[in-house]
Structure 1
Amino acid sequence: MFGFEDVWKFFFSFFLVLPIVTFIHEAGHLFFGKITGGKVRIHIGTGNRLFKIGPCNIRKLYFWDGWCEYENLKNHSRRHLVLVYLGGPLFTILSMLIVNMLIYMKVFEPGIFTYQFVYFSFYFAFFSLIPIEQNGYPTDGKAAWDVIKRKTFENNPLG
């Protein structure tokens, strides 16, 4: 049951853990976009930009959504595009596995942060890999699938 004492967990989860998971996911797209030689920017949140650190734009509602945009990928092969699209889910899954491994090795203690981190990471990876379009943009899984099927996307934002 959700009680008054659980309110802090809600705020902790949505205002700290979820943006961290979003950043890791978008960093995967950034990493593989940079490898392909493109100009890449990631956005954490929505609304007006609060501040920028390198290619990372932190927006006013930093806990709501995230996306990546790229331009001029030099190595614009199908394989590279698939890596860019699946880089987010890959980083998300790897971070989840690393946290679990560190808990298993007793480096981290299981707790509210690790539980919420793994929960939101699984959520991100699962829903980003479902091959559908949402709000006119393909999910990571749909974009990768379309590239594999020889439909390409030029300069579309990545989720």
Structure 2
Amino acid sequence: MFNAEDLQTFFWGFFLILPIVSLIHQSGHIAFAALFGGNISLTLGRGSTLFKIGPLEVKKIYFLDSFCNYSNLKVDNRFSHACIYAGGSLFNMLSVLMMNVLIMSDILSPHLFFYQFGYFSFYFAFFSLLPVQYSDKHMSDGKAIYTVLRYGKACDPID
């Protein structure tokens, strides 16, 4: 049952862990776009800009949303786009694997923070890979992978 004692866990989960997981996810897309020679940008949040460092822009409501853009790929084919779309979920799952290895190696001690990190990361990866069309212009990573492999049509931006 949710009570007042759970508010601290709620706040660090939604205002710290979720944005970190989202940043890792978008970094996966960005890493693959950079690997294929693209121009990249990453936005964390919505609203007015808090700060911008290189391709990273952090908005005032940093925990709400995230997305990345890429363009001008040097390697521009179905496979490169599919890798970029899958990169976010891949990075989420690799971060969970790394965290588990660090805990099993006694480098990190088990903590609720890491449990929530693993949960949010798995949640992000799982729902990103479901093939869902959100609107005329926005689709999940899974739907984007399907679309680019089946029809050769790239889908930007990545959410």
- TM, length-normalised to structure 2: 0.95
Q: Distance in 2 between matches of 1:39 and 1:69?
A: 8
Letter matched to residue 152 of structure 2: K
Letter matched to residue 103 of structure 1: I
- 1:72 matched to which residue of 2? 72
- 1:116 matched to which residue of 2? 116
Cα distance per residue 1:50-75 (max 9 Å; x no partner): 11111111011100111111111121
Deviation of 1:148 (Å): 0.9
Unaligned runs of 5+ in 1: none
Q: Distance in 1 between matches of 2:146 and 2:135?
A: 18
Q: How many residues align?
A: 158
- 1:106 matched to which residue of 2? 106
- 2:11 matched to which residue of 1? 11
Name whichever of 100-109 and 79-88 sits farther off: 100-109
Deviation of 1:2 (Å): 1.2
Cα distance per residue 1:112-157 (max 9 Å; x no partner): 2101100100110000000111143111111011111023126x11
Deviation of 1:28 (Å): 0.3
Q: Distance in 2 between matches of 1:73 and 1:48?
A: 29
Q: Distance in 2 between matches of 1:14 and 1:90?
A: 21
> Is the Cα contact below 8 Å between 2:78 and 2:152 reproduced in 1?
no
Q: Distance in 2 between matches of 1:31 and 1:61?
A: 24
RMSD: 1.1
Q: Distance in 1 between matches of 2:135 and 2:116?
A: 27
- Equivalent residues in 2 for 1:111-150 (5 A)? 111-136=111-136, 137-150=138-151
